A and B are shown apart, each in its own frame.
Chain A
Amino acid sequence: MTNPTPPTPDTLTPAPSRPAADPPPAGGPLRGRKQADRRIRVALDEDRLFRYSAPGVVTARPKAFVPGTRTGRLAAAARHLAFGRPLATEEEGEQRLTKVKALAVFSSDALSSVAYATEAILFTLAAAGSGSFGLALPISAVIVTILVLVTVSYRQTIRAYPNGGGSYIVAKANLGTLPGLVAASALLTDYVLTVSVSVAAGVAALVSAFPTPLFEHRTLLSVAFIALVMVVNLRGIRESGTVFAVPTYVFVGGVLALIGVGLARTALGEPPHVEAVRAVAMGGQSLGVLLLLRAFADGCSAMTGVEAISNGVPAFRPPESVNARITIGWMAGLLGAMFLGISLLAGIAGAVPSEHETILSQVTRATFGAGPIYYVITLATTGILILAANTSFADFPRLASLLARDGFMPRQFAFRGERLAFSAGIVALGVIASVVVVAFHGRVETLIPLYAIGVFTSFTLSQAGMVIHWRADGGAGWRRLAAVNGIGALATAVVALIFAIAKFALGAWIVIIIIPLLVAAMAFVRHEYDRGRIELHVKPDTIIGPPRRRQRVIVPVLDMRRDVVQAIRFGRTMAKDVVAVHVTDDLEAGEALRDRFARQLPGIDFVLVESPYRELVRPLVRYLEFTAAKDPDEVTVVLLPEYVQRHWWERFLYNQNQRRIRTALLGHPNILVADVPYRRDA
């Protein structure tokens, strides 16, 4: 007789699909299958604040984060209404992106810059008259060539840093701390300007379509859009692929269709022609090298955002590095094609720089007329430009958090808020970008001269860092790889230099001054944190024994009151030496109080400090300092009786002296200050 084969887990027959009986509520005994078998279900406390999660570890439950006061709860409710409910760390889902979605998410900044790059060139060439507008196309071609060099170089950066290789990380790792800080400062400046320029350009696109009501309010509109994007980011809406994809691909599709139709019409002998545009005043300047360089530098704003994909490699689906390299190639192809196409069409259609209508708007209107397609492309342009600002709202706080973790920025920038977003960085970016927009009256053409110098500085440092990386790596073909990055670094260094020279007087000097100032500020912050770390450092081999210093307790008293009695009783648990100190300008009343203390609180020393000038706090503080100085080996603990107020307005009626004493004693050696709260219903 053979033994039956024991069942394996996979062969267990599932139970018949009977629904579970609703378990009866906790409380009364439950009957078992056998007569004497009974059990009680004990109700678990759902209001607990903490949960044991491992030996020696407790986890705060959501209830632990609920404010204890009604005011606090109201403030929290308002915050949740504006920004959404708090998110636990586990809720940060790792949503990997396909190449198509990643192109939209990471390239919106780069692709959107074609909306204003050609215009920026024409605005500068306008100084030499409309006859120079034909140079926009060759200038664009040179810029696209540099774009190809930079893209090839960044493809190598992606391969070398599959975990994300931002300029700060690459420069710091390969060139050292100072170049890393320069790259970081350049990036931070660039992110601020990206927000300002993108939003201003988005508003300009909107104003082009709806000039009458909107033109006068473009600065206010820009600030409103910045605030909107800031709030959206504070809610923690991160790389939502679908949100980004729609306006990005509508924009890309629209611009490619625009170029296609425009060129087709030209080939058929019916080129688009721009009409009824109020052009800016044309200058009579001669077309010199400086003007050409300025126009070239302005056009280089088309390359901002190219590095975003190399920063976001971990967000790609596996194989991350391969997909990221393919995507950056797509991006460069689309960017180059759109930029060249718009520059070409602008020349064909006779578009002119105008404060009232963007070049893209003019060309679109000339090609498609002022019909639905025009409005779709215009709105998509506004949408992608706002999304381009959103990319900075993701990257600025992330870079700030890295800098904060390395000690170069205040620690607040390293913490994530309730919605898993780097709130400090987001708010800082929103405020600074708003200030910039207001200072430059929301005009794109005045912001462009500041733009891109930071980008090209960080490009240069990143690629130079890659040269060192390949050299140190020494793997097969390292010379070729280093040469590619080296050529890229040289090209972008030349562009950065051109920018600095050509745009210096027009506003680039601001950025050239800001970057070193930022570097100095970050170095100072790091110096302060290092100093604090050294002062607070505990050597690993130090054994800390029990305290050997004595302590005395001093309780400032106004009168014989319950809060004073509570503080004195607490003080008696800490030390044998407890002294009550009363400051007065009325000796007779003081002596009466001493008698009362002697009768009702026996064993407590009572010191009367007479204050001829009627001050309470300063004589007390001086007395405490005098007492503490008598014996440096003794710690003086000052217990301040605190009467806990029930209403917010009572804080103006109580505890004022305690606050002043606490402030005055802050930082005194050998003096500790502690509050002993007394609650009325205790």
Chain B
Amino acid sequence: MTDQSAPVFRRAVIGLNGGPLDATIVRVTAELGRQARAELVGVHVVEIDWTLPLDADIAGRSEEAQRVLDIAEATAEGTRSKIEPVLLQARDVGAALVDEAVERNADLLVLGLPYRKRFGGDFAMGRTIPYALKNAPCAVWVVREPIPEEKP
């Protein structure tokens, strides 16, 4: 018998990729976690190519990375919640997100999934989400955007 009065989650890591879904997943997570006063951590990972050292000064100089985190903060504030912004540099986004969630003892990892099709027509999930679904020890929510209407 599930305890219906138990909080949904206490600490959530939200993966931010700078896409339009970021605001949606921040808002949804913030609203669901508000009652339990859940902590939110917004993580944006800048993938560093293997041709560059891992500590190359890339993310710190990136206006775009700062914008992603700022917009997540503003979205959270719009729901009267607070989100801790975290900027990472890593070789692989999925691994970085899962490791960050583990490090912070998060009980939830939230990711946004744009609706994309591979060349050839199959729905494509990319690499990050299957990695997270397979490896994250905590719960994983994936929020997929609606299927866009096809132009005639």
Interface residues of A (CB under 8 A from B): 7, 9-15, 17-21, 23, 29-30, 32-34, 36-45, 48, 51-54, 59, 90
CB atoms of B99 and A53 under 8 A apart: no
Task: Say if the beta carbon of B16 comes within 8 Å of chain A.
Answer: no
CB atoms of A15 and B70 under 8 A apart: no
CB atoms of B9 and A12 under 8 A apart: yes
CB atoms of A42 and B59 under 8 A apart: yes
A23 to B46, CA, bound (A): 19
Interface residues of B (CB under 8 A from A): 2, 4, 6-11, 32, 39, 45-46, 54-55, 59-60, 65-67, 69-71, 73-74, 77, 85-92, 95-96, 98-100, 102-108, 135, 138-139
User: Besides the contacts A37-B91, A40-B88, A43-B60, what 8 more A-B pairs have beta carbons closer than 8 Å?
Assistant: A14-B6, A15-B11, A39-B45, A40-B90, A42-B89, A52-B67, A52-B70, A90-B77
A17 CB to closest chain B CB (Å) equals 8
On chain B, the residues within 8 Å of A23 by CB distance are 86, 103-104
B110 CB to closest chain A CB (Å) equals 11
On chain B, the residues within 8 Å of A42 by CB distance are 46, 59-60, 65, 87-89
Residue among A20, A21, A39 facing the most chain B CB atoms (10 A cut-off): A39
Contact A10-B73, Cβ < 8 Å, known A32-B96, A38-B90: no
Identify which of A20, A33, A54 contacts B74 (C-beta below 8 A): A54
Contact A20-B105, Cβ < 8 Å, known A36-B91, A39-B96, A40-B54: yes
On chain B, the residues within 8 Å of A21 by CB distance are 103-105
Contact A15-B9, Cβ < 8 Å, known A37-B96, A51-B74: yes
Identify which of B8, B45, B66 contacts A9 (C-beta below 8 A): B8
On chain A, the residues within 8 Å of B70 by CB distance are 51-53
CB atoms of A29 and B103 under 8 A apart: no
The interface residues of chain B, by DSSP majority, are classed as mixed
A45 to B69, CA, bound (A): 12
CB atoms of B10 and A39 under 8 A apart: no
A19 to B100, CA, bound (A): 15
On chain B, the residues within 8 Å of A41 by CB distance are 86-88
Identify which of B105, B108, B139 contacts A18 (C-beta below 8 A): B105
Give the total number of A-B pairs whose CB atoms are below 8 A apart: 110
Contact A30-B103, Cβ < 8 Å, known A9-B32, A15-B10, A38-B91: yes
CB atoms of B8 and A10 under 8 A apart: yes
CB atoms of A52 and B9 under 8 A apart: no
A380 to B70, CA, bound (A): 51
On chain A, the residues within 8 Å of B32 by CB distance are 9
CB atoms of B74 and A59 under 8 A apart: yes
Instruction: Report the nearest A residue to B77, measured CB to CB.
Output: A90
Instruction: Report the nearest A residue to B108, measured CB to CB.
Output: A12
CB atoms of A32 and B95 under 8 A apart: yes
In the A-B complex, the 9 residue pairs with the smallest Cβ-Cβ separation, listed nearest first, are: A15-B107, A39-B90, A53-B74, A32-B99, A52-B70, A52-B67, A42-B87, A40-B89, A37-B95
Instruction: Report the nearest B residue to A29, measured CB to CB.
Output: B54
Instruction: Report the nearest B residue to A36, measured CB to CB.
Output: B91
CB atoms of B104 and A20 under 8 A apart: yes
B147 CB to closest chain A CB (Å) equals 21
The interface residues of chain A, by DSSP majority, are classed as loop
Contact A39-B88, Cβ < 8 Å, known A51-B73, A52-B66, A54-B71: yes
CB atoms of A33 and B102 under 8 A apart: yes
A9 to B139, CA, bound (A): 10
A5 CB to closest chain B CB (Å) equals 11
On chain A, the residues within 8 Å of B6 by CB distance are 13-14
Instruction: Report the nearest A residue to B20, measured CB to CB.
Output: A55
Residue among B71, B86, B103, B138 facing the most chain A CB atoms (10 A cut-off): B103
Identify which of B99, B102, B139 contacts A12 (C-beta below 8 A): B139
A19 to B4, CA, bound (A): 23
* Contacts A/B (CB < 8 Å), 15 sampled: A7-B139, A9-B8, A10-B2, A11-B2, A12-B139, A15-B10, A23-B103, A23-B104, A32-B98, A37-B90, A42-B65, A42-B89, A52-B66, A53-B70, A53-B71
A40 to B65, CA, bound (A): 14
On chain A, the residues within 8 Å of B8 by CB distance are 9-10, 12, 14
Identify which of A29, A33, A51 contacts B98 (C-beta below 8 A): A33
Instruction: Report the nearest A residue to B6, measured CB to CB.
Output: A14
Instruction: Report the nearest A residue to B95, measured CB to CB.
Output: A37
Instruction: Report the nearest A residue to B66, measured CB to CB.
Output: A52
B134 CB to closest chain A CB (Å) equals 12
Identify which of A33, A39, A90 contacts B89 (C-beta below 8 A): A39
CB atoms of A14 and B103 under 8 A apart: no
A10 to B71, CA, bound (A): 28
On chain B, the residues within 8 Å of A29 by CB distance are 54-55
A9 to B102, CA, bound (A): 20
A639 CB to closest chain B CB (Å) equals 32
On chain B, the residues within 8 Å of A38 by CB distance are 54, 90-91
On chain B, the residues within 8 Å of A39 by CB distance are 45, 54, 88-90, 95-96, 99-100
On chain B, the residues within 8 Å of A9 by CB distance are 8, 32
On chain A, the residues within 8 Å of B46 by CB distance are 42
On chain A, the residues within 8 Å of B7 by CB distance are 14
B139 CB to closest chain A CB (Å) equals 6
Instruction: Report the nearest A residue to B135, measured CB to CB.
Output: A33
A29 to B90, CA, bound (A): 9
On chain B, the residues within 8 Å of A10 by CB distance are 2, 4, 8
A44 to B65, CA, bound (A): 10
B131 CB to closest chain A CB (Å) equals 10
CB atoms of B71 and A52 under 8 A apart: yes
A44 CB to closest chain B CB (Å) equals 6
A11 to B8, CA, bound (A): 7
Residue among A29, A54, A90 facing the most chain B CB atoms (10 A cut-off): A54
On chain A, the residues within 8 Å of B102 by CB distance are 33
A20 to B11, CA, bound (A): 9
CB atoms of B71 and A14 under 8 A apart: no
CB atoms of A14 and B105 under 8 A apart: no
A30 to B97, CA, bound (A): 12
A30 to B138, CA, bound (A): 20
On chain B, the residues within 8 Å of A11 by CB distance are 2
A289 to B55, CA, bound (A): 95
On chain A, the residues within 8 Å of B90 by CB distance are 37-40
B54 CB to closest chain A CB (Å) equals 6
A41 CB to closest chain B CB (Å) equals 6
CB atoms of A34 and B95 under 8 A apart: yes
A31 CB to closest chain B CB (Å) equals 8
A11 to B2, CA, bound (A): 6
A11 to B102, CA, bound (A): 21
A612 to B128, CA, bound (A): 81
Residue among A14, A18, A36, A37 facing the most chain B CB atoms (10 A cut-off): A14
CB atoms of B9 and A14 under 8 A apart: yes
On chain B, the residues within 8 Å of A17 by CB distance are 10
On chain A, the residues within 8 Å of B2 by CB distance are 10-11
On chain A, the residues within 8 Å of B100 by CB distance are 39
A45 to B107, CA, bound (A): 28
A44 to B138, CA, bound (A): 27
